[in-house]
């Protein structure tokens, strides 16, 4: 448990180079001091870095902090998924983030399971309660969802299939989270839904990411970041202030924890945590 009285967790992506690998271990050690509940590790579209994911999970776990691989079902057969889950179990991995996964460009749906709720059901049928299963939530709706209502129903299905808790896509509007929570609670969902938080460190990257994943950047944030141009110090300072305020609002409103999308950096998340203490 972190120094805050709520659970926190940090997400990493598998580094592609040896230098990235070495740097990550330093970042891991800095973030481990915040005593997170767990680290999580993403993978590429279509599971293209699944081996890298496992290696990174094992490396992160050497810090004494639990680590959870992201696992997607797109493009994988039941046999491949079973084999991967057996590998995780053999390595004493207790927690998974179960996702549909992104479609690699130019690839059809592929795979035997098409949706995250099917993956959650599959894990429960094959492995019972061996894993703590996290799923994704989209307070502003999944970018490919036909409608907000359809996305809510989809989220409910994942929960009913056996998810233990959920982590949201990042967002900058606390009301979007609270509205989503009111809606899913009314639909009978009672698992914890942890807000995913993206520190702001670079405007161009953030804008590109946000367009791709359907996260709304409020106009005042966009305008202020545009005004700073290349002044990265001002961008980071403003970003830290905005995100610290967002986290405080979420915690005051009853959010059960915070999950940081670290982009393999320590300082932005730690600065926000320090502001919250």
Q: What whole-number distance in Å separates Cα of residue 239 and Cα of residue 14?
A: 25
Cα–Cα nearest to 216, from 180, 189, 185 = 180
Residue among 11, 118, 140, 240 flagged as catalytic? 11
* Residues in Cβ contact with 247 at an 8 Å cutoff, skipping those fewer than 6 apart: 195, 197, 258, 272, 276
3-state secondary structure of 87: helix
Q: What whole-number distance in Å separates Cα of residue 177 and Cα of residue 179?
A: 5
What's the token pair of residue 190? 């009672």
Range list of H helices, 214-260: 219-228, 232-252
- Pairing type for strands 38-41 and 95-99 reads unpaired
| 233: annotated active-site residue | no
Which residue matches tokens 């970018």? 143
Element housing 166 (H / E) = strand 165-170
Cα–Cα nearest to 96, from 131, 130, 66, 51 = 131
* Residues in Cβ contact with 6 at an 8 Å cutoff, skipping those fewer than 6 apart: 251, 255, 256, 257, 258
Task: For the chain, give percent helix, strand, coil, nearest 5.
Answer: 50, 15, 35
* Beta-carbon count within 10 A of 92 CB: 9
Phi-psi region of 99 (alpha: psi -120 to 50; beta: other; left: phi over 0): beta
Catalytic residue list: 11
């Amino acid at each position: 448990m972190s120094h805050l009285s709520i659970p926190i967790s940090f997400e990493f992506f598998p580094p592609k180079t040896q230098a990235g690998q070495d740097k990550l271990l330093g970042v891991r050690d800095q973030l481990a001091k915040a005593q997170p509940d767990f680290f999580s590790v993403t993978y590429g579209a279509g599971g293209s870095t699944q081996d890298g994911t496992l290696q990174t999970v094992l490396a992160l776990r050497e810090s004494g902090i639990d680590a959870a691989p992201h696992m997607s079902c797109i493009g994988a057969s039941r046999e491949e998924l079973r084999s991967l889950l057996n590998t995780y179990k053999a390595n004493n991995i207790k927690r998974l983030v179960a996702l549909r996964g992104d479609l690699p460009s130019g690839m059809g749906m592929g795979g035997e399971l098409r949706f995250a709720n099917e993956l959650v059901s599959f894990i429960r049928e094959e492995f019972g309660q061996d894993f703590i299963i996290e799923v994704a939530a989209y307070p502003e709706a999944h970018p490919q969802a036909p409608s907000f209502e359809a996305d809510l129903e989809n989220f409910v299905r994942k929960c009913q299939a056996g998810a233990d808790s959920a982590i949201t896509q990042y967002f900058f509007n606390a009301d979007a989270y609270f509205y989503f929570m009111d809606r899913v609670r009314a639909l009978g969902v009672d698992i914890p839904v942890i807000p995913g938080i993206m520190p702001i460190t670079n405007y161009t990257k953030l804008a590109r990411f946000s367009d791709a994943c359907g996260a709304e950047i409020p106009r005042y944030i966009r305008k202020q970041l545009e005004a700073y141009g290349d002044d990265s110090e001002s961008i980071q300072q403003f970003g830290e202030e905005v995100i610290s305020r967002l986290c405080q609002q979420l915690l005051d409103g009853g959010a059960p924890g915070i999950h940081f999308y670290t982009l393999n950096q320590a300082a932005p998340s730690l600065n926000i945590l320090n502001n919250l203490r």
